Amino acid sequence: MRDGDAGAERPSRASAQRLALGIDPGTAIMGYGLVALDGDQLNLLDYGVITTPSHLPLANRLQLLYSGIGEIIERAKPTELAVEELFFNRNVRTALAVGQARGVAILAAANRGLPVSEYTPLQVKQAVVGYGRARKEQIQQMVRVLLNLQDVPEPDDAADALALAICHLHSSRAAHLIDERTT
């Protein structure tokens, strides 16, 4: 089940140079956020979550996630996807489930020809807040500020996905500028 549509004003596709789809993976709730970079301006396009019923077998939940991400990609036409890198978790069962959800997101992007970039939580915090030990609330407030929103995006999974998209657009833009200077 897809829940989203931020209701934000959408820039025209002709003016948006890049559109990143950020994914915060999870099997019960997968956050997504679409952010466009037009020149130096970040523009929010959409955010929300894809949820799966807990009573379904894992295979069916992964199938729902794959379909939901596919629908978002087909509708929004992002130019790239950013996903959180799996980090070691004390709960192995949770880590495996998150890994499977990541795989579904990466496969959905790959099957549609989207380049995929992966970022650690530390990289996201540094790119969005400028501090690697930033708290979740600090990240959410910076997402609100950077996207010029009145309120922090909810739920947390969607805010995290927006942070991933912002991290990617900032990080890849910096790398692109360095490449241009050295060539």
**Which residues are tagged catalytic?**
24, 84, 157
The helix (run of H) or strand (run of E) holding residue 62 is helix 58-76
Q: Which two tokens stand for residue 52?
A: 């799966």
Whether residue 39 contacts residue 12, with contact meaning beta carbons closer than 8 Å, is answered with: no
How far apart are alpha carbons 144 and 138 in whole angstroms? 10
CB 140 within 8 A of CB 161: no
- DSSP annotation of 112 reads T
- Taking the CA atoms of 4, 105, 126 and 90 in sequence, report the sign of the dihedral they define: positive
106's tokens: 């990466």
Residue with tokens 């929004």: 76
**Rg of the Cα atoms in the chain:** 16
